[in-house]
Amino acid sequence: MSGSLRNLQLMIDICCSEIKELDLVFNPNKCQVIRIGSKFNEAGCTLHVSDTVINYVTQLKYLGWYIISAKSFKISFHHLRARFYQCFNSVSVKSHNFTEPVLLRLVNTYCKPYLLYGAELVNWTASELSRMNYAYNSALCRLYKISFNSLDVIYGYSNLRSIDAEIELRTRTFLNRCENIDNAIVRHMFLVSGE
């Protein structure tokens, strides 16, 4: 990450020279640049890794997240929902004879984590939360063969939390841990971000 393209190229050059000392090389085909800020859609100067131009992209995968080139830091949640649906379809196809509690356990164990991956680190908008809730709720409706109107009964009897309630709980837990951690840097970052 860099505030300017010139500094980014300098950092890339330093990394390339250090990696060369270790008798390794970067794969330029796996290198990409994404711009975030007011000039995100303007063409920037070309950046190079070992004399190969690095491509500018509008979306970049990093640690399971898809970061989008925009005026401010944004993440695409479409991929997380798609992975959830793929996992849910795989579970439901292979489990015709399973009871509803077993299916629910499988969905919550293997599918739901896709919707919650890193959720405590994101500033969610209402529409993003709504789409994540819809994905989970539609899976529950299919699992129990009910309409959306009957979901309150399922949530009540199964002690489930909706996705937005789960995210709220995870965020609260994460922030409590940050506030009480022994690491002075993390504690300082937490206090500064809370102001």
State the chain's mean pLDDT as an integer: 87
Nearest 10 degrees: CA dihedral of 123, 71, 33, 42? 170
pLDDT tens by residue, 8-55: 889 989 988 998 899 988 888 888 888 888 888 877 788 888 888 888
Residues 192, 186: Cα–Cα separation, whole Å: 10
Q: What is the pLDDT of residue 132?
A: 94
Residues 121, 67: Cα–Cα separation, whole Å: 14
**Confidence label for 126 from pLDDT (cuts 50, 70 and 90):** very high
**Confidence label for 195 from pLDDT (cuts 50, 70 and 90):** low
Domain ranges within the chain, ordered by starting residue:
5-74, 77-193
For the cut 90, the answer to whether the pLDDT of residue 111 exceeds it is yes
pLDDT tens by residue, 128-162: 999 999 999 999 999 888 999 988 888 888 888 99
pLDDT tens by residue, 77-110: 899 999 999 999 999 888 878 888 899 999 999 9
For the segment 176-195, the average pLDDT, to the nearest whole number, is: 73
